[in-house]
Amino acid sequence: MRCSIRELLARFDSRELSDWQLYYSIEPWGWEIENKRFGTLATLLAPKAADELAGPENWFTDELPEVSLDDGRKED
């Protein structure tokens, strides 16, 4: 929110601040929780990815994928 405590208290009463605290305790937001969520997802997906991609030689490629710029129109 990037404001001082005095500014915060001028904008919100204690009831609204309490509501936000309760909401955050149920469904937190911000980069810290997002890092945890993506870490959990990576932990779940990594074993399957490791099976499909036999080794590091398959993880990266120097080749760019084929991209077609043809939009289906014929040139005259």
Percent of the chain with pLDDT over 90: 11
Chain center to CA of 55: 26
**Residue of 48 and 58 predicted with greater confidence:** 48
Whole-model pTM over 0.85: no
Helix, strand, or coil (residue 1): coil
Integer Cα distance of 6 and 12 in angstroms: 10
CA distance 22 to 19: 5
pLDDT tens, 24-56? 898 888 888 888 888 888 888 777 666 666 555
Local structure of 19: helix, strand or coil: helix
pLDDT in the model for residue 29: 86
How many C-beta atoms surround the C-beta of residue 12 within 10 A?
14
